């Protein structure tokens, strides 16, 4: 039993093993997503993150939700060697991703001109977990897009599982599973675009636990003159990542871990080896359509 | 806290001095500013970000299946 909804600027899906508990699961998921949106949205002027970005270098008191989101973002930055960096906010904004993607996509790319900024680096963020405050230097803007949606998935699935048992939550194709999976696991189709139809092309795999994330440069794209841009920023250049891959799917212990790995894979010199060394099952699709699977991800059968 | 108290005391004396000796007012204000700057330089203790290792592997790898999918995982 599934329910589809809109949240955090994308499409969400809730599935429960027991159809009778779908309503309870939805209520729990909605509470979590509302909390994450109020804390972490870069596009809401009333969000906590917007307030931090406007603080001009002053220390700001933050809620437990934003504290967790920042802790997750900084941990992701450290564990990825800085490849997944929350201080890409300014260059994302000046390069054109300055509003919800519906607005960005509707802009006239012929007249828009992107500008790029250097990325200050996650080490500039001062998070004081004891005092529940954060300070970012004036001019530094945080974007939690690489981790907050995945964190929302994990939190929502865990909250829903308390009231509904077996649960799958998807946000824009990032998936978290909580509670015991149904017999045979949760079947998930893999595609370039999470909005692809369920009966479209692409392999289907079964998940028993944890999280699954797919990152792709084929979907969230816009134009600056003749240049095609996308949202996966390389912190080393402040520009959209140049990668041999177009879509990477990773399974991990949590949706956050899966998303960190799938995002970092676009920036690594040898993503398959990095994923294999960490035991992260993954499927990588190259720009030309070639496919690689690592760490136990099943070969495509179609 | 000690610096804050010291700053408050300086401010009190600055106010008294300003009333008694208006010509010395500027000097006392400068002392208050110096105290505030000194206080800002003492950063609160920062707790290191969790020294988590790389993203953790799942309990089991995805398995091939012929079941009808309930959701699509793809780019956003």
- Residues in chain A with CB shorter than 8 Å from the CB of B62 are 188, 205-207, 212, 251, 281, 296-298
B72 touches chain A (CB under 8 A): yes
Closest C-alpha among A67, A66, A150, A83 to residue A121: A83
* Mean of pLDDT values over B13-41: 39
Nearest neighbour of A219 by CB, restricted to B45, B59, B76? B76
Separation between Cα atoms, residue A184 and residue A198, nearest integer Å: 18
Q: Say how many Å lie between the first and final Cα of chain B, rounded.
A: 49
B18 pLDDT more than 90 = no
Residue numbers in A near B65 (CB within 8 A): 184-185, 187, 204-206
Is the per-residue pLDDT at B30 higher than 90? no
Q: Please, which residues 22-61 of chain B have a Cβ atom closer than 8 Å to chain A? A: 43-47, 49-61
Tens place of pLDDT per residue across chain A (302 aa) = 899 999 888 899 999 999 999 999 999 999 999 999 999 999 999 999 999 999 999 999 999 999 999 999 999 999 999 999 999 999 999 998 888 888 888 889 899 998 999 999 999 999 999 999 999 999 999 999 989 999 999 999 999 999 999 999 999 989 999 999 999 999 999 999 998 999 999 999 999 999 999 999 888 888 888 888 888 899 999 999 899 999 999 999 999 999 999 999 999 999 999 999 999 999 999 999 999 999 999 998 76
- Strand residue runs (E) in chain A: 2-7, 10-16, 60-61, 126-128, 133-135, 167-171, 174-178, 186-193, 204-207, 210-216, 221-224, 227-230, 233-234, 239-240, 245-252, 282-286, 291-294
Interface touch B70/A188, C-beta < 8 Å: yes
In the sheet where A186-193 sits, what is the strand order?
B63-64, A204-207, A186-193, B71-75
Please check the confidence at residue B9 and state whether its pLDDT lies above 70.
no
Chain A closest-CA separation from residue B23 CA (Å):
34
pLDDT at A54: 96
**pLDDT band at residue B13 using 50, 70 and 90 as cut-offs:** very low
Q: Which of A81-85, A158-162, B19-23, B70-74 has the lowest mean pLDDT?
A: B19-23
**Partner residue opposite A188 with nearest CB, options B53, B56, B73:** B73
Cα distances (Å, whole numbers) of residue A8 to A40, A100, A293, A300: 10, 9, 30, 31
Report whether B63 contacts A296 (CB < 8 A): no
Coil/strand/helix, residue A268: coil
Mutate to test the interface with B, among A208, A245, A283 (most CBs of B within 10 A): A208
Query: Chain A: residue nearest B60 by CA?
Result: A208
Token pair in block for residue B34: 């110096």
Nearest CA in chain A to B71: A188
Between A154 and B16, name the one with better pLDDT: A154
How many residues make up chain B in this entry? 76
Q: List the single residue in B52, B58, B65 with the smallest CB-CB distance to A210.
A: B58
How far apart CA A185 and CA A66 sit, in angstroms, is 32
The residue that leads in pLDDT, A301 or B68, is: B68
Cα–Cα dist A190/A200, whole Å = 10
Cα A175 to Cα A246: distance, rounded to the nearest angstrom: 19
Contact flag A257-B76 (C-beta cutoff 8 Å): no
Q: Please, are residues A222 and A105 in contact by the beta-carbon 8 Å criterion?
A: yes
Residue A72 CB coordination number (10 Å)? 25
User: Among all residues of chain B, which has the CA nearest to that of A283?
Assistant: B62
pLDDT, residue B16, reads 42
- Reported ipTM: 0.90
Given a cut of 50, whether residue B8 has pLDDT beyond it is no
Q: Which of B61, B66, B75 sits opposite A247 (nearest CB)?
A: B75
Contacts of A73 in chain B (CB under 8 A): none
Is A78 in Cβ contact with B60 (below 8 Å)?
A: no
- Alpha-carbon dihedral of residues A97, A100, A106, A107, nearest 10 degrees? -30
Residue of A86, A96, A101 whose CA lies nearest to A11: A101
What chain B residue is nearest to A74 in terms of C-alpha separation? Answer: B49
CA A223 – CA A96 distance, rounded (Å): 9
Which residue in chain A is spatially nearest to B76 when comparing CA positions? Answer: A172
Predicted confidence (pLDDT) per residue in B35-58, tens digit? 333 333 444 334 444 445 679 999
All residues of chain A having their beta carbon less than 8 Å from the beta carbon of residue B57 are 252-253, 278-281, 295
Which residues does residue A145 pair with via DSSP β-bridges, in sequence order?
Answer: none
Cβ distance A28 to A163 under 8 Å?
yes
The stretch B4-30 carries a mean pLDDT of 41
**DSSP bridge partners of A15:** A2, A168
């Amino acid at each position: 039993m599934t329910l589809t909804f809109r949240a955090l600027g994308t499409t969400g899906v809730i599935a429960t093993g027991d159809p009778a508990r779908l309503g309870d699961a939805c209520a729990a998921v909605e509470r979590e997503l509302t909390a994450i949106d109020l804390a972490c949205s870069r596009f809401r002027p009333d969000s906590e993150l917007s307030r931090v970005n406007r603080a001009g270098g002053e220390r700001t008191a933050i809620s437990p939700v934003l504290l967790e989101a920042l802790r997750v973002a900084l941990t992701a930055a450290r564990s990825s060697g800085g490849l997944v960096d929350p201080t890409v906010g300014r260059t994302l904004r000046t390069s054109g991703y300055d509003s919800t993607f519906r607005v960005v996509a509707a802009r006239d790319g012929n007249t828009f001109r992107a500008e790029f900024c250097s990325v200050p680096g996650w080490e500039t963020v001062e998070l004081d977990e004891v005092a529940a405050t954060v300070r970012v230097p004036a001019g530094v803007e945080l974007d939690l897009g690489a981790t907050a949606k995945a964190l929302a998935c994990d939190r929502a699935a865990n909250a829903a599982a308390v009231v509904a048992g077996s649960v799958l939550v998807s946000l824009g194709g990032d998936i978290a599973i909580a509670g015991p999976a149904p017999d045979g696991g949760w079947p998930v189709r893999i595609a370039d675009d999470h909005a692809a139809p369920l009966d479209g092309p692409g392999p289907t795999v079964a998940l028993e636990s944890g999280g699954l994330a797919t990152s792709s440069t084929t979907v969230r794209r816009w134009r600056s003159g003749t240049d095609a841009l996308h949202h996966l920023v390389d912190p080393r250049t402040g520009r959209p990542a140049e990668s041999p891959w177009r879509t990477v799917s990773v399974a991990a212990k949590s949706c956050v871990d899966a998303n960190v790995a799938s995002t970092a894979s676009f920036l690594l010199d040898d993503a398959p080896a990095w994923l294999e060394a960490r035991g992260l099952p993954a499927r990588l699709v190259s720009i030309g359509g070639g496919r690689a699977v690592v760490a136990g991800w099943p070969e495509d059968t179609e | 806290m000690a610096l804050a108290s010291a700053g408050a005391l300086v401010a009190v004396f600055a106010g008294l001095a300003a009333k008694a000796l208006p010509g010395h007012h500027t000097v006392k204000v400068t002392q208050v500013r110096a105290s505030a700057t000194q206080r800002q330089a003492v950063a609160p203790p920062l707790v290191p970000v969790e020294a988590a290792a790389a993203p953790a592997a799942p309990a089991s790898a995805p398995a091939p299946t012929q079941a009808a999918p309930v959701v699509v995982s793809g780019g956003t």
